[in-house]
Amino acid sequence: KERMENNPKEKSWYVGWGNCHPLILQEMRKHYPKPHFLPDDSEIPSKEYVFMGYDDGATMHLDFINRLMWQAQLKGSKIWHLHPPPECHHVCKPLSFLAEPGDAVLVDTRVWYHGTTITPGQFSLSIQSEYG
């Protein structure tokens, strides 16, 4: 209970999971809109992800997914860190940006190395889905 309430004595934490149950997806989608930048006829995937944590984040990694992904920040804020693949490091520079509640990002996480840092002292909640 203390970890959920972000008691300062507790350690930071970060967790994510995927959901593919149709009824749960239907209920989840009532709580956030499809990002405005996606075409009206874009396919609705059969799986979405939830990421949440306190005072932590995801280490630098690549995703092994089939399509581009979008992620919407629902609560709290976090800093995204993007690094180009090794073959492009001489042309592309690393990039960082802050995602706040209501922001949605579209990133090819199959190509760009990425990690996140939750703003200190904040609980972060985001939803991720594939697009394409």
Assigned superfamily of 13-131: Alpha-ketoglutarate-dependent dioxygenase AlkB-like (2.60.120.590)
* pTM listed for this prediction: 0.84
Q: Which residues contact 29 (CB under 8 A, 6 or more apart)?
A: 48
Query: What does the pLDDT profile of the chain (132 residues) look like in tens digits?
Result: 565 566 666 788 999 999 889 898 888 888 777 788 888 777 777 788 999 999 889 999 999 888 888 999 999 999 999 999 999 989 999 999 999 999 999 999 999 999 999 999 899 999 998 876
C-beta neighbour count of 51 within 10 angstroms: 21
What letter does residue 51 receive in the DSSP assignment?
Answer: E
- Return the domain boundaries, the chain: 13-131
Query: Cα torsion at 114, 119, 123, 128 (round to 10°)?
Result: -20
